[in-house]
Amino acid sequence: MAISLKYIWTTVAVLLLLLLQYRLWFDDSGVVASNELRQLTDTMESNNLHQQQVNRDLMAEVHDLKTGTALLEETAREDLGLIRDGETFILFVDPK
């Protein structure tokens, strides 16, 4: 029995439609890949904003250390245990 021409054209059209749908949704430039890239971009932008704030804070601390003595003295007191002349150092130790 001969396959009708209409059946062949319908099959070809359905196959083309399926191929185009696959490319639309799952190809490298498809909807799924675009959504993944958008999420990745949003995450990177958020990380960049956070890192920019950290950088601004560090630059402000560097500026304060270069220009003022208050932050330098505070850092020396906390990290190095600086005590001025005339000050009394009291250390409280918790018993074991």
- CB 67, CB 73: distance < 8 Å: no
This prediction's pTM: 0.52
Residue-level pLDDT at 54: 97
Residue-level pLDDT at 22: 86
H or E element that contains 25: helix 5-26
Mean pLDDT, the chain cut into blocks of 10 residues (96 residues total): 83 93 84 91 97 96 83 81 82 86
Residue-level pLDDT at 85: 84
Residue-level pLDDT at 23: 86
- CB 83, CB 89: distance < 8 Å: yes
Backbone angles phi, psi at 46, to 5 degrees: -65, -45
Give me the residue spans of the domains in the chain: 1-29, 30-68
Residue-level pLDDT at 86: 87
Backbone angles phi, psi at 85, to 5 degrees: -65, 135
